Chains A and B, each alone.
Chain A
Amino acid sequence: AQKVTQAQTEISVVEKEDVTLDCVYETRDTTYYLFWYKQPPSGELVFLIRRNSFDEQNEISGRYSWNFQKSTSSFNFTITASQVVDSAVYFCALSVNRDDKIIFGKGTRLHILP
């Protein structure tokens, strides 16, 4: 069965610090997608990134970066020089080839303190 674990329920950091959100996934499938979504206090869900299982290249987008490691089944998300606007709940999710469901982790609530 597929599973996504976000072990960090809640994290607080001071503005300008770097912070890493962990995501560990479980699947026996060799073809899958991984996602990160952001849910700000306003409540909407905002897509951040998609990674397919054949592409282990790390990705950087401005202050955001993602580290995909199949060896440890992890897809961690780092925010560099955090800002108050980064305060949100962040969800990691998994979609596998033979199953059209998408499995979400329980989310990590990130507080960036001014």
Chain B
Amino acid sequence: EAQVTQNPRYLITVTGKKLTVTCSQNMNHEYMSWYRQDPGLGLRQIYYSMNVEVTDKGDVPEGYKVSRKEKRNFPLILESPSPNQTSLYFCASSIPGLAGFTDTQYFGPGTRLTVL
């Protein structure tokens, strides 16, 4: 079954304790991305990756890191989480589209993170 998986689905942590949210896709998609969703703000892109070893900042990258060592995985790293990073996080992957840029995105189930 084609899917994007995220782990953990729920996480409560404390300020400053490093954490990683994993994201994996089995569709051989080149493009992967992370979003956060906050009430009233919709989805905002954190980081994206066009392919292995190619990553770039989205609209709200501060306080996050990513890596893309393999095509299927795109982990999101919070080196020192803070309460303002409490949010719902979505990972997504996509096939290349018209003229090579981003086509339909398939989303993971989401990770609800609370930073105390």
Contacts and interface: CB of A to CB of B under 8 A. Distances in A.
Contacts of A97: 98-99, 101
Interface residues of A, number: 25
A106 B102 CA distance: 20
Given A44-B110, A101-B48, A50 B103 contact: yes
Nearest to B98: A52
Contact of A104 (B43, B98, B102, B103): B43
A104 B108 CA distance: 17
Band of interface residues on B = 20 to 34
A40 interface: no
- A interface: dominant SS: strand
A33 B107 contact: no
Contacts of B50: 100
A35 interface: yes
Given A97-B99, A100-B31, A47 B41 contact: no
B110 A91 contact: no
Interface string B77-116: 0000000000010101000011101111111011000000
